[in-house]
Structure 1
Amino acid sequence: MSVSFCLHPRWLVPVAPAGVLEQHALVVENGRIAAVLPSADARLRYAHLSHRDLPEHVLLPGLVNLHGHSAMTLLRGLADDLALMDWLNHHIWPAEKRHVSDEFVYDGSLLAMAEMLRCGTTTINDMYFHHEAVARAGLTAQMRTVVGCSILEFPTPYAADADAYIERALAAHARFQGEQLVRFTLAPHAPYTVSDATFRRVVQLAGQLDCAIHCHIHETREEVEGSLREHGVRPLARLASLGLLDMPLIAAHCVHLDDAEIALLARHRVGVAHNPSSNLKLASGLARIHDLRQAGVAVGIGTDGAASNNKLDMLAETRLAALLPKVQAADPRAIPATEALRMATLGGAEALGMAAEIGSLEVGKRADLLAVDLSDLATQPCYDPISHLVYAAGREQVSDVWVDGRQVLEQGRHTTLDPQQLKAKAGWWRDRVLADRHTGA
């Protein structure tokens, strides 16, 4: 389908403004939303466009995955049921040291993007190595990709030290300037892997490049306790003193926050990436999402990587993001379905500083859309399509996806990627990683 067309869903959920529209159409011209209006009017006023009926579907903004490590999809299921630092130190980092390359990252990112697009995710805020490979994968998949350029102090096959990571980040940023679907963040990995001097340099460069910072923050109790031992303050206080909170910042996880820290995030307009499945699987804890939203913090939803989740399903994450706060607050009204859906769309866009472009079905925004078919028995009867999107629908019911007006999933089939080729690549990498583990190489 071209980038100019008209869709007629049974239900249209714009997110902003909140609510559900029936017997309405959405018009896309040149990749942007040109109008949202009654279907009868659209058929007359835009008769020159192609029209498509979606008779049992809900049309909504594309989902925004606010935190992921796409290439780690090739390590899915490699090491499960372990604490974070054991998982990282004894399994993930050793495997990455032996296998991560430009080819690994490109293949793994494409595999992840195929899964995410099939789930209705149109934007990924990534964080990994081989930044140019992630960007190329995004362009191949035609998925909106925010490339987080990982920065650490210790060496990997990708870079020898923090200066080398930064140098490679700057080169990748320069190479992809002007690409509509690709932008960059600087991504210092975490307070426990990055020095004060490097954080200060990241702040300076982010200001010069006019880009955001993406960092794991307050993910575990051990992280907080380690910061108190080493620096005498909790991680967020240390980062505040180094100027990170004065920059556009996406803070991933933020599980262990006190009241003062929540107020600090709100005051500095820090965006929080909530990763409920990963937090549960690694036993990191339950983030105080209801309190963060009550304080006015922009909260989006992320999947984290497939090695710690183990699926990249934003509909499943959105359901958890709605359910867990109800238990924490002992209040079923804590995060209603409408709020959870907003977090998965416009909330993520706000945290990324992209709310003027994506996250809701408003005139002038980029046409990042998904259609969910609610005709399945599992979503019958339908009294409230937003309720079904959050609590009942599965990713298999995502039928069509558009990014920037280009259709990337049509009736459940990829238009930009070859699933059979991706499966073959995944199998090749599986055999290579297994052979390495068996030989102890």
Structure 2
Amino acid sequence: MKALINANIFDFEIYKEGQYVLFEEEIKEVGNMSEFKGADEVYDCSGSIIMPSLLNGHTHVYSTFARGLNIPFNPKNFKDILEQLWWKMDSKLDRRAVYYSGIAYAHDCIKSGVTTIIDHHASGLEISGTLNELKKSICDYMSLRGIFCFETSDRFNVDECIKENLDFAKGSKSNNYSGIFGMHASMSLSDNTLKKISDSIDDLPIHIHAAESFEDEEDSKIKYGKSVVKRLDDFNLIKENSILAHCIYLDKEEAEIIGKRNAYAAINPTSNMNNAVGLFDYRLLKEHNVRCILGNDGLGTNISRDYLNLFFGMKYRFKSPIAFSFDDLKEVIDNGYKYAGKLLNIKIGRIKTGYRADMISVLYKSPTAISNDNKMSHLIFGIFDNFHPKDVWCDGEILLKNYEMTKNIGDIYNEIKKESIKVWERIGKGE
């Protein structure tokens, strides 16, 4: 049995000082230090906050190899961003590049305190088997949790995309990985493709970019005479537990549909600001009972930055310092854990008996008192403001110990760099 001792626990629901946590893969017991009876392996967490490890609700692992990429880039709109950068890059990825980008991304996730990711994958050179490559690198080798899909698009072989999604999602599952059905966006999917998908997926949830840009909505209305979400719903594609990412240009009818279908909106404030596409209407989503989870759209791994940008961005959008409350923030955090828990058939996101031992320790010396009344204020204005996890556990396995990775991937990093060079060379030759 393992134990954290002298821990100050903060799991978004409660704050307690002087606690111990007994755990293996799951948390077995939590109590006051006065009741601690010992354990085989002990971690002294004096001076640290113990929190659930974090979750990224919408990311693109393949973006790892875009870091530092220098190609002609002068976009006038969102589609230009896709055509001049992301579609050039993902079209040149093969299975080997997918595997090694997964190792690199998982490494950085651990350093950022993230142990569960919901990924939206694309690779043009090879489609078949790529989701399994992500599973092998991120879940099997790096010991994180992942929910994966391949973004079906008319840019690729649609039948192969469908098969890859279904093979992975309907194959073997575990508490560490699962699959849903990926689609790129309405503007890159014809009616024929949507019908093929609808005829294939049964009740499998989808994961799609929806109304991320004005062009996506405009394309749907001009070509098909309806909004993005209405178009998807008319093909019976918005299943329960589906993820619609971004949702910036939704109207009331679209928000109502998403809410009624018990689907989720994955909001990505940092990416939205970076791409200058605008910010989503959180009030509209909340009004129509749309559950929001937080992602970063592949823009790094530090999801604490996205929580800060969500908190401040909504106040800016609505021109009110009380437009987005700590309760709103807590709800978004909880939604992510509940969603992943459903898909993986586990409980995560709390430091409680029966929950998986997915935890982080963060050194935090506050100049002011911490209590259950002000804990969320400390999260935003203290913990996340200078966020550097000291220790990270997933399924009870320590992945980061005293700021150092427990898995040495130094030699693998040489292979990662070789693969990134190959990808960049392929992009250059493809211009």
C-alpha contact (below 8 Å) 1:349/1:359 kept by paired residues: yes
- Cα 1:199–1:25 change in 2 (3 A) is farther
Summarize the alignment of residues 127-276 of structure 1 with structure 2, pairs less than 5 Å apart: 127-129=120-122, 130-138=130-138, 139-155=140-156, 161-173=157-169, 177-207=172-202, 211-276=204-269
Q: 1:236 corresponds to which letter in structure 2?
A: V
C-alpha contact (below 8 Å) 1:227/1:233 kept by paired residues: yes
Count of residue pairs brought into register by the alignment: 414
C-alpha contact (below 8 Å) 2:212/2:248 kept by paired residues: yes
User: Residue 126 of structure 2 corresponds to which residue in structure 1?
Assistant: none
Q: Deviations over 1:315-370 (max 9, x none)?
A: 101111111111223332333345425523x2213344348522223321222111
User: Residue 376 of structure 2 corresponds to which residue in structure 1?
Assistant: 386
Summarize the alignment of residues 404-415 of structure 1 with structure 2, pairs less than 5 Å apart: 404-415=395-406
Question: Are residue 61 (structure 1) and residue 52 (structure 2) matched?
Answer: yes
How far off its partner does 1:276 sit? Answer: 0.7
User: Residue 365 of structure 1 corresponds to which residue in structure 2?
Assistant: 355
Question: Are residue 13 (structure 1) and residue 10 (structure 2) matched?
Answer: yes
User: Residue 158 of structure 1 corresponds to which residue in structure 2?
Assistant: none
C-alpha contact (below 8 Å) 1:152/1:162 kept by paired residues: yes
Q: Deviations over 1:22-62 (max 9, x none)?
A: 22232213x11222322222x13xx3443322112111112
User: Residue 109 of structure 1 corresponds to which residue in structure 2?
Assistant: 102
User: Residue 25 of structure 1 corresponds to which residue in structure 2?
Assistant: 20
User: Residue 126 of structure 1 corresponds to which residue in structure 2?
Assistant: 119
Q: Which runs of 5+ in 2 are unaligned?
A: 123-129
User: Residue 315 of structure 1 corresponds to which residue in structure 2?
Assistant: 304
CA distance in 2, matches of 1:56, 1:154: 52
C-alpha contact (below 8 Å) 1:370/1:401 kept by paired residues: yes
Q: 2:148 corresponds to which letter in structure 1?
A: V
Three-state SS of the structure 2 residue aligned to 1:152 is coil
CA distance in 1, matches of 2:420, 2:327: 40
How far off its partner does 1:121 sit? Answer: 0.8
CA distance in 2, matches of 1:213, 1:35: 37
C-alpha contact (below 8 Å) 2:61/2:105 kept by paired residues: yes
Question: Are residue 347 (structure 1) and residue 335 (structure 2) matched?
Answer: yes
CA distance in 1, matches of 2:423, 2:134: 20
CA distance in 1, matches of 2:4, 2:327: 23
* Structure 2 length-normalised TM: 0.87
C-alpha contact (below 8 Å) 1:371/1:401 kept by paired residues: yes
How far off its partner does 1:245 sit? Answer: 2.5
Three-state SS of the structure 2 residue aligned to 1:229 is helix
C-alpha contact (below 8 Å) 1:271/1:350 kept by paired residues: no
- Cα 1:394–1:409 change in 2 (3 A) is farther
Q: 2:251 corresponds to which letter in structure 1?
A: D
User: Residue 374 of structure 1 corresponds to which residue in structure 2?
Assistant: 364
User: Residue 125 of structure 2 corresponds to which residue in structure 1?
Assistant: none
Q: 1:221 corresponds to which letter in structure 2?
A: F
Three-state SS of the structure 2 residue aligned to 1:151 is coil
Pairwise CA RMSD of aligned residues? 2.5
Question: Are residue 94 (structure 1) and residue 94 (structure 2) matched?
Answer: no
Q: Which runs of 5+ in 1 are unaligned?
A: 156-160
- Cα 1:127–1:370 change in 2 (3 A) is same
User: Residue 274 of structure 2 corresponds to which residue in structure 1?
Assistant: 281
* Structure 1 length-normalised TM: 0.86
User: Residue 326 of structure 1 corresponds to which residue in structure 2?
Assistant: 315
CA distance in 2, matches of 1:48, 1:351: 32
Q: Taking every aligned residue pair, what percent have the same amino acid on both sides? A: 21
C-alpha contact (below 8 Å) 1:251/1:273 kept by paired residues: yes
